[in-house]
Amino acid sequence: MNDREAREQIAQVIASSKYRWRTSRGIAKDSGLPIQRALEVLELNKTPIGRHRHVTDTDTIELITSLARLQPDERIAATINRLGHRTAHGQTWTAARVCSIRNGHGIAAYREGERQERSELTVDEAADALKVTPTTVLRLIRHKDLVATQVCRNAQWTIRQLDLDEYLVARAGHSPSTHVSGQLALDIQ
């Protein structure tokens, strides 16, 4: 059977079909042609493995890669959801979905103590070291008195131990001034 005859046979099957949408297997079966031959005649190509329309955005994958160094999957999911990112299927992120993306892209999972090995502190840890409240540390970061990094908006701040030490040295050099210009001296006898 040549291509023209095969096309005509398939066209008859499609025209006589009571279903508007048919699979290529169903069309091949009804036409009596082998499946591969029906695909060739219909000029259909199989979609390669891993190629489909549901693909996670590269920005989200980069974000997961960055956050995986700092926090567990549950926290990553919460951060990504607050940013408004959705999965490829339009769903919200869960720890299981983050774990699936990590495994599929070869991203290492966060482990306890990893951040401490890199001498990185959270805001709470820096507050304990400075003996101030976390709000004060955030104010120091906002005023750029203390150097800190944040992977994205809504993610936790990371403070290197070296930067905290430099801040402590700078703060020690700035003792509070007791002399105010224009202030009159009071001589007590």
CA pair distance 93, 84, nearest whole angstrom = 10
Range of the domain at 21: 3-42
Length of the chain: 189
CA pair distance 17, 185, nearest whole angstrom = 105
Least confident range from 2-11, 55-64, 177-186: namely 177-186
Tens of pLDDT, residue by residue over 24-74, are 667 666 777 776 776 676 665 666 666 667 888 889 999 999 999 889 999
CATH number of the domain that residue 130 is part of = 1.10.1660
Three-state secondary-structure class, residue 44: coil
CA pair distance 143, 147, nearest whole angstrom = 10
**Are residues 127 and 100 part of one domain?**
no
* pTM, two decimal places: 0.61
**Are residues 65 and 33 part of one domain?**
no
Q: For residue 115, give Cα distances in angstroms to 98, 110, 158.
A: 20, 9, 9
**Contact criterion met (CB below 8 Å) for 31 and 38:** yes
**Are residues 168 and 123 part of one domain?**
yes
**Are residues 121 and 100 part of one domain?**
no
Is the pLDDT confidence value at 164 over 80? Answer: yes
Is the pLDDT confidence value at 22 over 80? Answer: no
- Give the helix ranges, DSSP H, for the chain: 3-16, 24-31, 35-42, 58-67, 73-83, 95-105, 114-117, 123-130, 134-142, 161-173
